[in-house]
Chain A
Amino acid sequence: MRTLPRRLGVAIVLAAIVVFLSIKLNAFRDYQIAEVAVYFTAVAGLTVLTGLSGQISLGNGAFMAIGAYTTALLLLHLSWPFIAVLVVAAAATAVAGGVVGIAAARLRGPYLAGATLMLGVALPSIAYAWPGVFGGDQGLNVVFTAPGFLGANFPLTRWQAWVSAAVALVTLVLLGNLVHSRIGRNWRAVRDDEVAAALDGINVAAARGRAFVVSATCAGLAGALLAIVTALVAPGAYTITLSIALLTGAVIGGLGSLAGALWGSLIIVLVPTYVTDVSTSHGLSSTVGANIPIVAYGVVLILVMLVFPQGIQGGLQRIVIAFFGPNQKSRTWRIAPTPHVTPSADETPASQHEKEGTS
């Protein structure tokens, strides 16, 4: 997807697929399309942050919470049209992302991971501290209906799927633009070798901060979508589990790749459902039956990482190359080279032996 026309083409094709599927498949699948779109929006931002600019974030769930609460509050108190709410939610989260980005500029590797982990854990508890505003444990209800011109019988799930997919595709195109622009190249330069990038005149701190802003904005949009899809914004929905799921989706799908963000989102949404159906239909005790999907999900994560170290997108690429041979074409959607999410520059030499092992 190197050029803008190509990206738009991909987006239009995907939009057509979504519309087709949303009409052909049942209402539950529409709901799942909406879920996939929500996660894609967030995971795409995260994969850019972590894969392209090399900054790990375990706190993007907190940014989703900011977007979601902004949406809920605006819809509750001001009844603005959804587009306006989306813009404001994105802006609010972008500001938060900027603040975090500034603070995170000096942090590397596990220290950044620790700080963002704590952010992901701590931010939702603000909802408990001011229950009058944020609704406390019960959260805020979100009312979202399909517009009148579609007719009274238009299923809400289909409308949710369309809106979410539209936002996701816009995000895809915009992120694609960024990734292939100079900003994207700067990110990769900063990721690969900070000192060299600085010598080259790149403002490292600004580039890193910009990545956080972009990633947070995507998460904020995803949060806004999640608010209208699930109709409730409560702290129980934005726990650290969400942040971890996003990171997992990004890495499993293929870090740094937008197609990878799609695979990751599909896994997040589809794997738990499938295994639940299987386990409850075999007469297992309820505790065992409920934990089997958990065990299966853990095993899937481990296996995919061991078998496809570059994630699913990386695996797909290698298979395609194996069958069709390396050529100009396949390089256009090749996954980003191995990111160095390394600790600070004064790391101990013990890590050298790992770095040399990577490509």
Chain B
Amino acid sequence: MKRSQRLRWQATALMTVTTLAVTACSSSSSSSASSPSSSSAALTASAPGITATTITIGSHQPLTGPAAPGYSEIAPASTAYFDYVNANGGIYGRKIVYKYLDDAYNPTITASVVHQLVLQNNIYALFDGLGTPTHLAVVSFLNSQKIPDVFVASGCECWNQPTTYPETFGWQIDYVREGKILGQYIAQHFKGKKIAYFYQDDDFGMNGIKGLSDEIPASMVVTKQSYAPTNVNIGPQVAALRASGAQLVVSFSVPAFTALLKLYSLKLGFNPTFAVSNVGSDPTTLAGLLETFAKQGGATVNGSQLTNGIITDLYLPSTADTSNSWIKLFTKVRNQYDAKAPLDYNVMYGMAVAYTFVQAMFKAGRNPTRADLVSAIQGGLPQGPMVAPFAYSSDSHAGATGAYIAITQNGVGVQQGPVLATDTSATGPITPVTGTQPPPPASGIPSP
């Protein structure tokens, strides 16, 4: 190409890029589609992010990057449930607009997208922010701006600080409680046996172990092995587990590493009982990961054979339990609005937390302010799809208080004993929950 031609090429390219950039900078990116409505005169724009016809909420989620597999299913599932609600009358007639942005599990990007959501998109509330380090990057900002920060997708106890973070609420059962509930079952049913711990080297694993240690006497524990999620070669750890002679391995691991634990155990001819945190025990997910190894592992055909016998704690119904009315509801919503997704733990999580949010919004009133949402939750919420009640009050912003023990058989978690509830202190009692889980309303939408 002649030099002058190339220069003209470059000049045009540069001008195009500049024009695009200038347009981008000056475009407003609010996404609420507010056309003047002829609906009930009682609906007003009662808070930022709320118009007469829409409620705009935001979230940060890992949609790409190494943390995306699995977690990236949650937000589309929440959207599916919101679409279902929107199609059936919405919240007092308003439609929910759910704007979730990718943060690739990088706290710097989380801070950036949450600033955008709050300062540019004017969201009403931040919903289901995912990840402990990522959300820690934005929790002070959200609270200083008085944005309701509801139902953080992380089991860290850090979200339960009503004095420091009055806008922030947890939702899922926290890891310490989980550890205690699992720990009590193990201490009761595996007396005299050798127990080993396998855990992720972050707050998830370490808090889980803390809970376990509150219930399982140290004399029973023969070894503790941790893993870093960046290193898939856990052969040395599993070899150490085998060498310790453990008869039960308690694992606070994410699904990929639960599957790897199982695979390396197969390889080493190590066959203990496994107890796994609900974070990493979903039979549907595990079966998918183990499927191609099922034949070699001695199972007949499907991956779920390799998940038989896994002990876990569930605070939501088991995903393959088709007799449960909540699972029926979520399956219906999934079929209609998120058809490509399997009904696994992440998808159910997304819909369940969306259900709780809709409950909270109904409770907040016809024309809620941001403070109304916070007080609605603090006043206590019905448990919805949870198996145990929430702990929400003005003193506690923690979510689920309890879970039941389940043993996986043919892909379904079969309940063992009652639902158990507890607190996060080392000596707090673990008590059975009375009453059964209430079914969803016939419409599938919480009533106002």
Partner-B contacts on A (CB < 8 A): 26-28, 31, 35, 125, 128, 136-139, 141, 143, 156-157, 226, 229-232, 234-237, 239, 241-242, 266, 270, 273-274, 276-277, 280-281, 285-287, 290-291, 293-294, 303, 307-308, 312, 315-316, 318-319, 322
Shortest beta-carbon distance from A150 to chain B in Å: 16
Mark contacts of B201-213 with chain A using CB atoms, 8 A cut-off: 1 yes-contact digit, 0 otherwise. 1110010000000
Answer whether residue B119 sits at the interface, using C-beta atoms and an 8 A cutoff. yes
A341–B85 alpha-carbon span in the complex (Å): 59
Interface 9-residue window, one of B109-117, B289-297, B393-401: B109-117
Shortest beta-carbon distance from B337 to chain A in Å: 12
Contacts of A319 in B (CB 8 A): 7, 10-11, 14
A294–B72 alpha-carbon span in the complex (Å): 15
Shortest beta-carbon distance from A253 to chain B in Å: 13
Answer whether residue B76 sits at the interface, using C-beta atoms and an 8 A cutoff. yes
Residue among B14, B64, B108 with most chain A CB within 10 A: B108
Answer whether residue B162 sits at the interface, using C-beta atoms and an 8 A cutoff. no
Shortest beta-carbon distance from B319 to chain A in Å: 20
Instruction: From the candidates A27, A226, A274, name the one contacting B108 in the complex (CB within 8 A).
Output: A226
A310–B27 alpha-carbon span in the complex (Å): 30
Residue among A28, A143, A157, A235 with most chain B CB within 10 A: A28
Contacts of A139 in B (CB 8 A): 107, 133, 136
Contacts of B64 in A (CB 8 A): 290-291, 294
Instruction: From the candidates A26, A35, A156, A291, name the one contacting B120 in the complex (CB within 8 A).
Output: A26
Interface contact A128-B120, CB-CB below 8 Å = no
Interface contact A137-B202, CB-CB below 8 Å = yes
A232–B111 alpha-carbon span in the complex (Å): 9
Interface contact B203-A136, CB-CB below 8 Å = yes
Answer whether residue B140 sits at the interface, using C-beta atoms and an 8 A cutoff. yes
Answer whether residue B25 sits at the interface, using C-beta atoms and an 8 A cutoff. yes
Interface contact A231-B137, CB-CB below 8 Å = yes
Interface contact A274-B24, CB-CB below 8 Å = yes
Answer whether residue B344 sits at the interface, using C-beta atoms and an 8 A cutoff. no
Interface contact B25-A31, CB-CB below 8 Å = no
Interface contact A230-B107, CB-CB below 8 Å = yes
Q: A239-B106, A241-B106, A316-B14 are in contact. Are A230 and B111 (CB under 8 A)?
A: yes
Shortest beta-carbon distance from A345 to chain B in Å: 33
Shortest beta-carbon distance from A185 to chain B in Å: 30
Answer whether residue B433 sits at the interface, using C-beta atoms and an 8 A cutoff. no
A227–B63 alpha-carbon span in the complex (Å): 24
Interface contact A230-B108, CB-CB below 8 Å = yes
Interface contact B119-A28, CB-CB below 8 Å = yes
Contacts of B24 in A (CB 8 A): 270, 273-274, 277
Nearest B residue to A38 via CB reads: B108
Interface contact B203-A287, CB-CB below 8 Å = no
Residue among A229, A276, A277 with most chain B CB within 10 A: A277
Instruction: From the candidates A128, A234, A308, name the one contacting B228 in the complex (CB within 8 A).
Output: A128
Interface contact A237-B119, CB-CB below 8 Å = no
Shortest beta-carbon distance from A280 to chain B in Å: 7
Contacts of B27 in A (CB 8 A): 277
Shortest beta-carbon distance from B351 to chain A in Å: 15
Interface contact A307-B136, CB-CB below 8 Å = no
Shortest beta-carbon distance from B114 to chain A in Å: 10
Contacts of B10 in A (CB 8 A): 307-308, 315, 318-319
Answer whether residue B378 sits at the interface, using C-beta atoms and an 8 A cutoff. no
Nearest A residue to B156 via CB reads: A138
Interface contact A231-B120, CB-CB below 8 Å = no
A270–B136 alpha-carbon span in the complex (Å): 24
Shortest beta-carbon distance from A179 to chain B in Å: 25
Contacts of A293 in B (CB 8 A): 102
Instruction: From the candidates B7, B106, B144, name the one contacting A322 in the complex (CB within 8 A).
Output: B7
Contacts of B11 in A (CB 8 A): 319, 322
Interface contact A141-B144, CB-CB below 8 Å = no
Shortest beta-carbon distance from B225 to chain A in Å: 15
20 A–B contacts from the bound complex (CB under 8 Å): A136-B203, A138-B136, A138-B203, A141-B136, A226-B108, A229-B111, A230-B111, A232-B107, A236-B133, A237-B137, A241-B104, A241-B106, A266-B21, A280-B99, A286-B75, A286-B100, A287-B63, A290-B64, A318-B7, A322-B11
